[in-house]
Amino acid sequence: MPPVLRRVLAGLAALGLVLVALGCAPESLFPPTHQSTVYPETDAARLILDVYRPITWIMVVIFVVVEGLLLYAAIRYRRKPGQQGNPRQIHGNTALEIGWTIIPVVIVIAIAFPTLRNLWALAIPEDPNGEALHIKVVGKQWWWEFEYPEELGVVTANELHLPADRLVVLELTSDNIIHSFWVPRLSGKRDLVPGRSQAIWFTTPSEPAMYYGQCAELCGPSHALMRFRVFVDGPEEFAAWAAKEAGPTVVPSTMESDGPAAMIAGGCVACHKIDFEGSFFQSRLGPILTHVGSRSTIAGGILDNTPDNMAEWIRFPERLKPGALMPNNDWLTDEQVDTIVAYLQSLE
């Protein structure tokens, strides 16, 4: 074996070892990240990974072979000392050309089988007994609205609660431009297209947990700030959450009380709904705030729900989320902002 070839093979072996080591690395070295498709938690996400994994390994083999041949040729046939002129020029090689036409065709056909099989498996499953939980997801500029079935009567924003171990069908649409719903560990991506509804499904994990989601379609200056969270709850927790969310706020509120009055002065009433007896806060332009105090985040999942963050958000939404429909309110006095924040934080 020529020494060059030996060196190339040694290099390839080392590369292979590194790849295998990465593939076999314990989770402690590469913990499942919050938004990782290679740590699926649902049946639907596993169907996707079942296609993704073999394709990835086929690509790794192709990469190693092609790069190996390239390196071998570059080193083995490099210009030697004293060599003059161009090397011998070669044109056309029928065997090679047939080979590199047929091999890709075979690979594409091999990939097509699992792809089609799982694509069909991902069609919305029949649900004759109506066991699935159907939730309408509306992409907003730039946040998410989740509308639960009528019998639950829940509409909420940016934090999707789901019962554990339940078939869920999400019906996706948008009231502005195209967005894309993506919770990598729960399902694949699906666009939210204005004027039409497209669905995805998955069976929620059996253990309560939180999963990160993200808009996956470039939709404007705050595309990267269009986040959301999915909370998988135990059955009792979910029922309790839904019962609370469906009702009006438990904070005693009247139109004259400090919080609502300050929110009218601030113009918040034009866009937000807060449900209490005799409430004028009925607009659905912005996120519903009836139970906003119980959410872990605000502003489409970009800020932890703390009084300071909320005050900053009320004053400068255009700075924190460029292009957001909510205008800056830096003209409000500190006292007004504090009153609004204290009221909203109390809305559990």
- Which 177-236 positions form the footprint of ligand CUA (CB under 6 A)? 179, 215, 217-219, 223, 226
- Closest approach, Cβ 24 to ligand CUA, in A, equals 35
Fill in the per-residue mask, 120 to 149: x = in contact with ligand CUA (CB under 6 A), - = not in contact. -------------------x--x-------
CB of 226 to ligand CUA, least distance (A): 4
Within 13 A of 247's CA, how many CA atoms are on the CB side? 10
Could you tell me the smallest distance in angstroms from the CB atom of residue 243 to ligand CUA?
31
Q: How many residues bind ligand CUA (CB under 6 A)?
A: 9
* Cα end-to-end distance, the chain, whole Å: 74
Distance CA 43, CA 5 (A): 46
Half-sphere exposure of 227 (CA within 13 A, CB side): 16
Nearer to ligand CUA, 260 or 286 (CB): 286
* Cβ neighbour number for residue 105 with a 10 Å cutoff: 9
Please say which residue, 247 or 323, places its beta carbon nearer to ligand CUA.
323
Q: How far is the CB of 43 from ligand CUA (least distance, A)?
A: 26
Please name the residue ranges forming H helices in the chain.
3-24, 43-76, 94-121, 235-246, 258-265, 307-315, 317-320, 334-346
Closer to ligand CUA by Cβ: residue 218 or 285: 218
From 137, 146, 129, 132, select the one nearest 246 (Cα to Cα). Answer: 146
Least CB distance to ligand CUA at residue 145 (A): 13
The CA distances from residue 312 to 140, 159, 193, 222, in Å, are 21, 21, 32, 17
At closest approach, how far in Å is the CB of 32 from ligand CUA? Answer: 24
CB-nearer residue toward ligand CUA: 291 or 321: 321
Note the residues at the interface with ligand CUA (CB under 6 A): 139, 142, 179, 215, 217-219, 223, 226
